[in-house]
Amino acid sequence: MYVPCPSCPLRRKPAFRQKGEEEVAVINSMKSDHLTLEAGSEFIHPEQSDAELYTLFAGWAFRYKELGDGRRQILSFALPGDLIGLQASLFEKSFYGAIALTDIQLCVIPRRRMLRLFERMPEIAYDVTWLGARSEALVDENLLSVGRRGAGERIAALLCSLYKRAEPLGLVKEGVLELPLTQQHIADALGLSLVHTNKTLAKLRSQGLFTISGGHLVIRNLRGLSRFAQHFEEDLAPRPLI
Protein backbone atom coordinates (compact mmCIF):
# COMPACT_ATOMS: atom_id res chain seq x y z
CA MET A 1 0.00 0.00 0.00
CA TYR A 2 2.41 2.64 -1.27
CA VAL A 3 1.58 6.19 -0.21
CA PRO A 4 3.09 8.94 -2.39
CA CYS A 5 4.24 11.93 -0.34
CA PRO A 6 2.02 14.53 -2.07
CA SER A 7 -1.07 12.64 -0.93
CA CYS A 8 0.28 11.73 2.51
CA PRO A 9 -2.47 12.20 5.11
CA LEU A 10 0.05 12.66 7.95
CA ARG A 11 1.33 15.77 6.25
CA ARG A 12 -1.99 17.55 6.80
CA LYS A 13 -1.98 17.12 10.57
CA PRO A 14 -1.47 20.27 12.62
CA ALA A 15 1.67 18.77 14.13
CA PHE A 16 3.55 19.28 10.88
CA ARG A 17 4.83 22.23 8.95
CA GLN A 18 3.14 22.57 5.61
CA LYS A 19 5.64 22.29 2.79
CA GLY A 20 5.64 23.55 -0.81
CA GLU A 21 4.87 21.25 -3.72
CA GLU A 22 8.38 21.23 -5.04
CA GLU A 23 9.84 20.18 -1.70
CA VAL A 24 7.31 17.40 -1.27
CA ALA A 25 8.08 16.19 -4.78
CA VAL A 26 11.78 15.92 -3.95
CA ILE A 27 11.01 14.03 -0.75
CA ASN A 28 8.81 11.73 -2.75
CA SER A 29 11.61 11.06 -5.21
CA MET A 30 13.88 10.06 -2.32
CA LYS A 31 11.37 7.64 -0.88
CA SER A 32 12.17 4.21 -2.21
CA ASP A 33 9.61 2.07 -0.45
CA HIS A 34 6.68 1.87 1.92
CA LEU A 35 6.92 -1.11 4.28
CA THR A 36 4.31 -2.76 6.43
CA LEU A 37 5.63 -4.65 9.46
CA GLU A 38 4.05 -6.62 12.24
CA ALA A 39 4.26 -5.68 15.90
CA GLY A 40 7.50 -7.00 17.35
CA SER A 41 9.52 -6.79 14.12
CA GLU A 42 13.04 -5.51 14.55
CA PHE A 43 13.75 -3.24 11.60
CA ILE A 44 17.11 -1.92 12.76
CA HIS A 45 19.48 -4.38 14.35
CA PRO A 46 22.28 -3.53 16.75
CA GLU A 47 25.55 -3.65 14.79
CA GLN A 48 23.70 -3.57 11.48
CA SER A 49 25.89 -1.91 8.88
CA ASP A 50 23.42 -1.04 6.14
CA ALA A 51 20.42 0.39 8.00
CA GLU A 52 18.21 2.73 6.00
CA LEU A 53 16.58 5.94 7.15
CA TYR A 54 12.91 5.59 8.01
CA THR A 55 9.99 7.84 8.66
CA LEU A 56 7.39 6.16 10.81
CA PHE A 57 4.17 6.55 8.84
CA ALA A 58 1.81 4.73 11.19
CA GLY A 59 2.06 2.89 14.50
CA TRP A 60 4.50 3.01 17.39
CA ALA A 61 8.11 1.86 17.67
CA PHE A 62 11.08 2.19 20.00
CA ARG A 63 14.85 2.35 19.89
CA TYR A 64 16.86 0.37 22.45
CA LYS A 65 20.34 -0.70 23.51
CA GLU A 66 21.35 -3.65 25.58
CA LEU A 67 24.23 -4.96 27.64
CA GLY A 68 25.92 -8.29 27.06
CA ASP A 69 23.96 -10.03 29.79
CA GLY A 70 20.59 -9.04 28.37
CA ARG A 71 19.73 -5.95 30.41
CA ARG A 72 17.83 -3.71 28.02
CA GLN A 73 17.30 0.04 27.98
CA ILE A 74 14.69 1.65 25.78
CA LEU A 75 16.13 4.94 24.55
CA SER A 76 13.08 6.58 23.03
CA PHE A 77 9.66 5.90 21.62
CA ALA A 78 8.73 6.88 18.09
CA LEU A 79 5.29 8.05 16.98
CA PRO A 80 4.00 8.73 13.47
CA GLY A 81 6.05 11.35 11.68
CA ASP A 82 9.21 10.58 13.61
CA LEU A 83 12.46 9.88 11.82
CA ILE A 84 14.18 6.67 12.90
CA GLY A 85 17.65 5.53 11.96
CA LEU A 86 19.55 8.73 11.33
CA GLN A 87 22.54 7.61 13.39
CA ALA A 88 22.34 4.11 12.00
CA SER A 89 22.25 5.34 8.42
CA LEU A 90 25.09 7.84 8.84
CA PHE A 91 27.52 5.58 10.72
CA GLU A 92 29.16 2.42 9.49
CA LYS A 93 27.14 0.44 11.95
CA SER A 94 24.20 0.94 14.23
CA PHE A 95 24.70 1.34 17.97
CA TYR A 96 21.09 0.52 18.74
CA GLY A 97 18.13 -1.57 17.62
CA ALA A 98 14.63 -0.50 16.66
CA ILE A 99 11.50 -2.56 17.12
CA ALA A 100 7.85 -2.09 16.14
CA LEU A 101 5.57 -1.79 19.14
CA THR A 102 2.41 -2.14 17.07
CA ASP A 103 1.90 -3.08 13.44
CA ILE A 104 3.63 -0.24 11.64
CA GLN A 105 4.21 1.32 8.26
CA LEU A 106 7.54 2.85 7.32
CA CYS A 107 8.63 5.18 4.55
CA VAL A 108 12.11 4.21 3.42
CA ILE A 109 14.82 6.67 2.41
CA PRO A 110 17.89 4.71 1.29
CA ARG A 111 21.07 5.60 3.13
CA ARG A 112 23.03 5.92 -0.11
CA ARG A 113 20.72 8.72 -1.27
CA MET A 114 21.44 10.83 1.80
CA LEU A 115 24.32 12.86 0.44
CA ARG A 116 22.47 13.44 -2.82
CA LEU A 117 19.51 14.61 -0.78
CA PHE A 118 21.75 17.16 0.91
CA GLU A 119 23.03 18.36 -2.44
CA ARG A 120 19.66 18.57 -4.10
CA MET A 121 17.70 20.50 -1.52
CA PRO A 122 19.37 22.23 1.42
CA GLU A 123 16.03 23.00 3.06
CA ILE A 124 15.35 19.30 3.40
CA ALA A 125 18.85 18.65 4.68
CA TYR A 126 18.22 21.32 7.28
CA ASP A 127 15.00 19.58 8.26
CA VAL A 128 16.73 16.23 8.59
CA THR A 129 19.26 17.82 10.91
CA TRP A 130 16.45 19.48 12.83
CA LEU A 131 14.68 16.16 13.29
CA GLY A 132 17.93 14.56 14.41
CA ALA A 133 18.30 17.28 17.02
CA ARG A 134 14.74 16.74 18.20
CA SER A 135 15.44 13.06 18.53
CA GLU A 136 18.38 13.90 20.78
CA ALA A 137 16.15 16.20 22.82
CA LEU A 138 13.82 13.27 23.49
CA VAL A 139 16.70 11.18 24.76
CA ASP A 140 17.94 14.10 26.87
CA GLU A 141 14.57 14.35 28.56
CA ASN A 142 14.52 10.61 29.17
CA LEU A 143 17.97 10.72 30.68
CA LEU A 144 16.86 13.45 33.05
CA SER A 145 13.98 11.21 34.12
CA VAL A 146 16.02 8.09 34.64
CA GLY A 147 18.85 9.92 36.35
CA ARG A 148 17.00 12.31 38.60
CA ARG A 149 13.30 11.55 38.94
CA GLY A 150 11.94 9.04 41.46
CA ALA A 151 10.03 6.01 40.21
CA GLY A 152 6.61 7.62 40.41
CA GLU A 153 7.79 10.84 38.81
CA ARG A 154 9.41 8.88 35.99
CA ILE A 155 6.22 7.08 35.11
CA ALA A 156 4.23 10.29 35.34
CA ALA A 157 6.72 12.12 33.13
CA LEU A 158 6.67 9.36 30.54
CA LEU A 159 2.90 9.35 30.36
CA CYS A 160 2.80 13.15 30.13
CA SER A 161 5.37 13.18 27.40
CA LEU A 162 3.70 10.51 25.29
CA TYR A 163 0.33 12.12 25.78
CA LYS A 164 1.59 15.53 24.74
CA ARG A 165 3.22 14.05 21.66
CA ALA A 166 0.23 11.92 20.69
CA GLU A 167 -2.34 14.66 20.99
CA PRO A 168 -1.34 16.85 18.00
CA LEU A 169 -1.21 13.69 15.90
CA GLY A 170 -4.88 13.08 16.54
CA LEU A 171 -4.19 9.92 18.54
CA VAL A 172 -6.14 11.09 21.56
CA LYS A 173 -9.83 10.43 21.00
CA GLU A 174 -12.28 11.76 23.57
CA GLY A 175 -9.57 11.91 26.17
CA VAL A 176 -8.45 8.34 25.55
CA LEU A 177 -5.02 7.41 24.22
CA GLU A 178 -4.43 3.87 23.04
CA LEU A 179 -1.12 3.02 24.64
CA PRO A 180 0.58 -0.06 23.21
CA LEU A 181 3.14 -0.35 26.03
CA THR A 182 3.34 -3.25 28.43
CA GLN A 183 4.65 -2.64 31.94
CA GLN A 184 7.84 -4.33 30.78
CA HIS A 185 8.32 -1.64 28.14
CA ILE A 186 7.73 1.08 30.72
CA ALA A 187 10.23 -0.58 33.04
CA ASP A 188 12.81 -0.88 30.26
CA ALA A 189 12.38 2.75 29.30
CA LEU A 190 12.62 4.09 32.83
CA GLY A 191 15.39 1.95 34.31
CA LEU A 192 13.04 0.20 36.74
CA SER A 193 12.33 -3.44 37.41
CA LEU A 194 9.07 -4.89 36.17
CA VAL A 195 7.76 -5.52 39.68
CA HIS A 196 8.60 -2.09 40.93
CA THR A 197 6.98 -0.53 37.88
CA ASN A 198 3.83 -2.47 38.57
CA LYS A 199 3.66 -1.41 42.19
CA THR A 200 4.46 2.21 41.45
CA LEU A 201 1.82 2.30 38.73
CA ALA A 202 -0.72 0.93 41.19
CA LYS A 203 0.15 3.61 43.72
CA LEU A 204 -0.07 6.38 41.12
CA ARG A 205 -3.40 5.15 39.85
CA SER A 206 -4.75 5.19 43.36
CA GLN A 207 -4.02 8.92 43.55
CA GLY A 208 -6.48 9.33 40.71
CA LEU A 209 -4.41 11.48 38.34
CA PHE A 210 -4.94 9.00 35.53
CA THR A 211 -6.40 5.60 34.73
CA ILE A 212 -4.75 3.01 32.56
CA SER A 213 -6.29 -0.33 31.74
CA GLY A 214 -6.48 -2.58 28.76
CA GLY A 215 -4.01 -0.38 26.92
CA HIS A 216 -6.22 2.69 27.32
CA LEU A 217 -4.77 5.72 29.02
CA VAL A 218 -6.99 8.48 30.32
CA ILE A 219 -5.32 11.42 31.99
CA ARG A 220 -7.76 12.96 34.40
CA ASN A 221 -5.60 15.92 35.29
CA LEU A 222 -2.80 16.67 32.87
CA ARG A 223 -1.82 19.84 34.70
CA GLY A 224 -1.58 18.00 38.00
CA LEU A 225 0.28 15.08 36.51
CA SER A 226 2.77 17.43 34.83
CA ARG A 227 3.31 19.24 38.08
CA PHE A 228 3.87 16.02 39.98
CA ALA A 229 6.34 14.80 37.35
CA GLN A 230 7.96 18.22 37.01
CA HIS A 231 7.46 17.77 33.29
CA PHE A 232 6.92 21.11 31.61
CA GLU A 233 8.15 20.61 28.06
CA GLU A 234 5.77 20.87 25.16
CA ASP A 235 6.51 18.99 21.98
CA LEU A 236 7.93 21.14 19.21
CA ALA A 237 5.29 21.94 16.64
CA PRO A 238 4.84 22.50 13.85
CA ARG A 239 7.76 20.37 12.82
CA PRO A 240 9.05 19.18 9.48
CA LEU A 241 7.99 15.85 8.03
CA ILE A 242 10.38 14.13 5.68
Partner DNA sequence: CATCTCCTATGTGTTTTGACATAGCGGCTC
Partner DNA sequence: GAGCCGCTATGTCAAAACACATAGGAGATG
Residue ranges binding DNA (CB under 7 A): 150-152, 182-184, 191-202, 213
Q: Is 111 left (phi over 0), alpha (psi -120 to 50) or beta?
A: alpha
The interface partner of residue 119, options being a copy of itself, DNA, none and the CB cut-off 5 to 8 Å by kind, is a copy of itself
Interaction residues for a copy of itself, span 65-104 (CB under 8 A): 65-69, 71-73, 75, 86-87, 90-91, 95-96
Cβ of residue 202: shortest distance to DNA, in angstroms? 4
CB of 154 to DNA, least distance (A): 7
User: Helix, strand or coil for residue 139?
Assistant: helix
Three-point CA angle 199, 202, 204, nearest 5°: 110
d(CA 125, CA 128): 5
Q: Which helix (H) or strand (E) holds 119?
A: helix 114-120
Contact between 234 and a copy of itself per CB under 8 A: no
Instruction: Estimate the crossing angle of helix 222-229 against helix 151-166, to 10 degrees.
Output: 130
**Which does residue 202 touch among DNA, a copy of itself, none (CB within 5 to 8 A, set by kind)?**
DNA
Taking the least distance from each CB to DNA, the nearer of 86 and 100 is: 100
Least spacing, CB of residue 88 vs a copy of itself, in Å: 9
Report the DSSP pairing between strands 53-58 and 83-84: antiparallel
Residue 194: which H helix or E strand, with range? helix 194-207
Question: How far is residue 210's CA from residue 221's CA, in Å, rounded to a whole number?
Answer: 7
| Residue nearer to a copy of itself on the CB measure, 13 or 65 | 65
Give the nearer residue to DNA in terms of CB position, either 53 or 98: 98
What minimum distance in Å lies between the beta carbon of 191 and DNA?
Answer: 6
Residue 28 or 41: the one with the smaller Cβ distance to DNA is 41
Nearby residues of 144 by Cβ (< 8 Å), 6 or more positions away? none
Residue 158 · residue 210 · CB < 8 Å: no
Contact positions vs a copy of itself (CB under 8 A): 63, 65-69, 71-73, 75, 86-87, 90-91, 95-96, 114-115, 118-119, 122-123, 125-126, 128-130, 132-137, 139-144, 146-149, 190-191, 230, 232-233, 236
